[in-house]
Amino acid sequence: MPPTALVTGATGCVGANVVAALLARGYDVRAMCRATSSLEALDGLAPELVVGDVLDPASLVAAMQGCALVFHIAAVADYWRTPTKRIYRVNVEGTRNVLTAALEAGIERLVYTSSVGALGVPPPGHLLDESATFNLPPRRFPYGHSKHLAEQAVQEAVAQGLDALIVNPTGVIGARDVHFIGGSVLREVRRGLFWFAPPGGLNWVDAKTAGLGHVLAAERGRTGERYVLGGQNVSHRVAIEIVAEVVGGRRPLLTLPRPLMSVVALLTDVFNAVWPGTPLFSGEQARLSGAEIYCDWSKAQRELGFPYTPFRAAVERAYAWYRARGYL
């Protein structure tokens, strides 16, 4: 009989898809969420619900009672909408709290959800893999730096005897993304906001496939290892064109020259500083969008049996989910 698994961040896109994958494989699942969290991402699923917060150590210890597995996914993912101090507090301090609680509770295995952001930016013409190290100034990409620091905390816990490993999902897009993290591109393309495409590209992973990858990592992964959970490497222009074909929207007129992205980033920062409301994207996103953040995720294929899902299929799944709920 499969063990009971605790999932932190269960009401986010990745967390909800991990819950779905665990339930599909017969696990008993305890989904941890904050008291204020919407449960919409868990629509159609029936895990045990428990209220907790990664910044409340006592709630973590209580949530882990009777569990053998922990999937620590809770994090600030919408970094362009969140103050930097909050990013570090949740992503680093919160992870340390989870690791301490796991050691105290005698958890048999912990899977930590990091990010492709913790891998940095590859040199032109190269692919990121598990050997990559964060190589950006922290102030340029606080989110990636916070995930890098959290990974270090995981390795420290492994040295203390915790059976833990790390997964690094790439750009996640697909069903159950109620907060429009990766899904924001669908909404913005449908609104006709992409007149121009950034010059870089990204590796994209389907959300449902990423959820399965977490479970495969728990079942087959090696202690202390990293596994990039990836999919298709796609230029931003091609990605926008595919999204436009699926959701209906304007295709970009042209691709911006890479040297222009620093100017776009500066103007974005100025605009966000003076314009009220939640920004659509940040200057740091604009800077990074000039890079080709492509990945080699063959290690996950080889060791975990992690499958491939094309970008278009992930977009179609996301769009179908949003349409069924009236989001788009």
What are the catalytic residues? 143
Residue 235 φ/ψ, nearest 5 degrees: -65, 155
Sequence-ordered list of residues with C-beta below 8 angstroms from that of 36, at least 6 positions apart, any chain: none
**Which residue has 């570090």 as its token pair?**
88
Read off the tokens for 90: 């949740």
Sheet holding 48-51, edge to edge: 48-51, 28-33, 4-8, 69-72, 109-113, 164-169, 226-229
Read off the tokens for 24: 């599909």
Number of H helices, E strands in the chain: 12, 13
Read off the tokens for 4: 């009971």
Closest CA to 119 of 81, 168, 68: 168
**In angstroms, rounded to a whole number, what is the distance separating the alpha carbons of residues 95 and 253?**
43
Read off the tokens for 213: 């990858």
143 with 76: CB under 8 angstroms? Answer: yes
Cβ neighbour number for residue 62 with a 10 Å cutoff = 15
In 201-288 the beta strands, taken as DSSP E runs, fall at: 201-206, 226-229, 232-235, 254-255
**In angstroms, rounded to a whole number, what is the distance separating the alpha carbons of residues 207 and 309?**
10
Torsion, Cα of 128, 131, 132, 133 (10° steps): 170
Sequence-ordered list of residues with C-beta below 8 angstroms from that of 163, at least 6 positions apart, any chain: 107, 108, 109, 110, 223
**In angstroms, rounded to a whole number, what is the distance separating the alpha carbons of residues 262 and 288?**
10
Q: Is 133 helix (H, G, I), strand (E, B) or coil?
A: coil
